[in-house]
Amino acid sequence: MGYPDRPGWLRYIQRTPYSDGVLYGSPTYENVGKPTVIEITAYNRRTFETARHNLIINIMSTEDFPLPYQAEFFIKNMNVEEMLASEILGDFLGAVKNVWQPERLNAINITSALDRGGRVPLPINNMKEGVYVMVGADSPFSSCLREVENPQNQLRCSQEMEPAISCDKKFRSQFHIDWCKISLVDKTRQVFAPQEVVRGEGILPDVGEYRPPSDTLKSRDYYSDFLITLAIPSAVAVVLFAILGYIMCCRREGMEKRNMQTPDIQLVHHSAIQKSTKELRDMSKNREIAWPLSTLPVFHPVTGEMVPPMHTDSFDNTNMPLMQTQQSMPHQTQIPQQPNAGEFHMTTFQRLEVNGTLKKGN
């Protein structure tokens, strides 16, 4: 009573609102001889009836009940509230006494595995959190408990294998003990060196009266600081911009160097493709413009006379076949050739037009 919460060594657990609440814990040496009063308040959810009860816990020193040999077991198939039940705890102490066979055996501490950094188990297959139970006795450990310190069992534990303990069958029927997590403490071999505790007065050294800054401080002009802060980054930015502009504009060799390194025939082909592309685009925009240069009158290959185009302005070329024979062509000239002695072959030059494109054939 008189405190906003329970003592730090005392824990409380209640699984569901309708299950029993359990107070458990182990006090420290600082709490010895100081009675702890716990005020418990309960109320009925249906009638809202309230009841109060004061629980007085008297803490006694362990020196009055010396238990120098202590062993801590980890039970995997139990929760802390189940282990705190008098029947379950009595059965466990009976099994340990059957293996250890001391004159006096008591439970010293019971801790949930969650308080030791364990993980909350999955809600499947009725898995439990696990509980650590420390017991103390007045007689040395039995040979069965000493088997845990066997090098072979230590090796099996390091390989995450179950060690071979001869007395495990005496616990297996009700308690599943993880023998790799058991710890044996023999306080008869421990020598505690006394530590001198130097306690301070809890008072800060006297350094005189506190004197706050006066109100008559000189005002400071931050205009120069502002200019410096703004001018330096601006100057750096201008210099970087000038360097970048010089690299991108003044050192650019451009199209002249590209044309000098490009072969002439490639430039001619590129120029011809650009001119033809531009001509076709202009024709697609306006189909009533003059005929392209490729359809204008050309010179006769033999006589040198100007030959008129294949069609007039009113000529409809939509019904014209893609290919025409030599007999149907209006402009054709036969030129005699003499490949061999005494033999003449006639070669015909003709003008063909496919979909408005003028071509020459032979």
Give the pLDDT confidence of 181-205 residue by residue, as tens digits: 888 888 887 655 666 666 666 666 6
Helix (H, G, I), strand (E, B) or coil at 177: strand
Q: Which residue has the higher pLDDT, 298 or 100?
A: 100
CA angle, 209 then 210 then 216, to 5°: 120
Answer with the one of 158, 186, 214 that is the final residue of a domain.
186
Q: How would DSSP label each residue in 278-347?
A: HHHHHHHH-TTSPPPGGGS-EE-TTT-PEEPPSS-TT---SSS-S---STT-SSEEEEEEEEETTEEEEE
**pLDDT over 70 at 327, yes or no:** no
What is the reported pLDDT for 213?
A: 72
Domain region containing 107: 65-186
What is the reported pLDDT for 300?
A: 58
Query: CA-to-CA distance for 177 and 175, rounded, in angstroms?
Result: 6
pLDDT tens, position by position, 134-167: 998 888 888 888 888 888 988 988 888 888 888 8
CATH number at residue 118: 3.30.70
- How does residue 9 score in pLDDT terms, banded at 50, 70 and 90? confident
What is the reported pLDDT for 236?
A: 94
Residues 40 and 83 grouped into a single domain: no
Residues 96 and 32 grouped into a single domain: no
- Least confident stretch, 6-15, 183-192, 223-232, 349-358: 349-358
| 69 and 141 Cβ atoms separated by less than 8 Å | yes
**Cβ neighbour number for residue 66 with a 10 Å cutoff:** 12
**pLDDT over 70 at 352, yes or no:** no
Residues 108 and 167 grouped into a single domain: yes
If we measure between CA atoms, which residue out of 32, 33, 25, 29 comes closest to residue 8?
Answer: 25
What is the reported pLDDT for 261?
A: 77
Residues 109 and 179 grouped into a single domain: yes
Residues 165 and 140 grouped into a single domain: yes
Residues 107 and 34 grouped into a single domain: no
Question: How is residue 103 annotated by DSSP?
Answer: S
What is the reported pLDDT for 359?
A: 46
What is the reported pLDDT for 296?
A: 57
- Top mean pLDDT of 38-47, 117-126, 315-324 is at 38-47
- Least confident stretch, 13-27, 105-119, 270-284, 337-351: 337-351
What is the reported pLDDT for 26?
A: 81
Residues 53 and 74 grouped into a single domain: no
How many helices (H) and strands (E) in the chain?
8, 13
Percent of the chain with pLDDT over 90: 9
Query: CA-to-CA distance for 89 and 107, rounded, in angstroms?
Result: 9
What is the reported pLDDT for 231?
A: 92
What is the reported pLDDT for 22?
A: 84
Q: Which residue has the higher pLDDT, 334 or 149?
A: 149
State residue 154 phi and psi, 5-degree precision.
Answer: -65, -40
- How does residue 335 score in pLDDT terms, banded at 50, 70 and 90? very low
Q: Which two tokens stand for residue 192?
A: 């505690």
Query: Would residue 48 be called left, alpha or beta, if left means φ above 0 and alpha means ψ between -120 and 50 degrees?
Result: left
Q: Which residue has the higher pLDDT, 50 or 32?
A: 50
- How does residue 56 score in pLDDT terms, banded at 50, 70 and 90? confident
**Cβ neighbour number for residue 54 with a 10 Å cutoff:** 9
**pLDDT over 90 at 115, yes or no:** no
Residues 96 and 178 grouped into a single domain: yes
Residues 92 and 124 grouped into a single domain: yes
What is the reported pLDDT for 289?
A: 56
Q: Which residue has the higher pLDDT, 312 or 3?
A: 3
Helix (H, G, I), strand (E, B) or coil at 171: helix
**Amino acid identity, residue 172?**
R
Residues 35 and 83 grouped into a single domain: no
If we measure between CA atoms, which residue out of 5, 10, 17 comes closest to residue 42?
Answer: 17
Residue 32, domain member (yes or no) = yes
Query: CA-to-CA distance for 169 and 76, rounded, in angstroms?
Result: 15
- How does residue 241 score in pLDDT terms, banded at 50, 70 and 90? very high
* Number of domain units in the chain: 3
Task: Give the H or E element holding residue 250.
Answer: none
Average pLDDT score over the chain: 76
Output the pTM of the full model: 0.49
Answer with the one of 171, 186, 201 that is the final residue of a domain.
186
What is the reported pLDDT for 124?
A: 76
What is the reported pLDDT for 319?
A: 47
Q: Which residues contact 82 (CB under 8 A, 6 or more apart)?
A: 88, 128, 131
**Amino acid identity, residue 261?**
Q
What is the reported pLDDT for 310?
A: 53
Residues 74 and 181 grouped into a single domain: yes
Answer with the one of 186, 217, 247 that is the final residue of a domain.
186
Residues 112 and 173 grouped into a single domain: yes
Q: Which residues contact 105 (CB under 8 A, 6 or more apart)?
A: 93, 96, 97, 135, 136, 137
Query: CA-to-CA distance for 41 and 52, rounded, in angstroms?
Result: 4
